[in-house]
Amino acid sequence: MLLVYNTKVKDWNFPGGKIEPNEEPEQAVVREVKEEINLDITHLEEILETDVHFFGKTAPRCGYYFNATADLSNLVLREPTKITTVRFLTREEAIKMPELSTAVLTYFKKVK
């Protein structure tokens, strides 16, 4: 799995972000991944849709999780003041990471 370190919230998370008005979840993840790390993702497969309780937020948000394919040769940190590191990890390695986001923790609880 691919995780990015976000210095603004100080956690490891999946690349992605908010869905814009009139945008489908698949469109949002394609756009967000391109904006954050310059990858063109294809062959999206939704694997989970669930409520996620983010730190500091009182109400949960709907989180969408996808498997996807990408050409990694294009990987570039396009928001270097926000995203400082990208790591490719196995599930076992990721579980041991400090500062995991609630989105990643939710994924681990729901997807075995």
What is the count of structural domains for the chain? 1
CB 67 within 8 A of CB 45: yes
What is the per-residue pLDDT across 58-92, written as a single tens digit (0 to 9) for each?
778 889 999 999 999 999 999 999 999 999 999 99
pTM for the predicted model, two decimal places: 0.88
Return d(Cα 99, Cα 103) in angstroms, integer: 11
Return d(Cα 48, Cα 109) in angstroms, integer: 11
Q: In terms of DSSP bridges, do strands 41-52 and 11-13 run parallel, antiparallel, or are they unpaired?
A: unpaired
Domain of 26?
Answer: 2-110
Q: What is the CATH number of the domain that holds 32?
A: 3.90.79.10
What is the per-residue pLDDT across 34-56, written as a single tens digit (0 to 9) for each?
999 999 999 999 999 998 887 66
Through-space distance between the first and last CA atoms of the chain, rounded to whole angstroms = 14
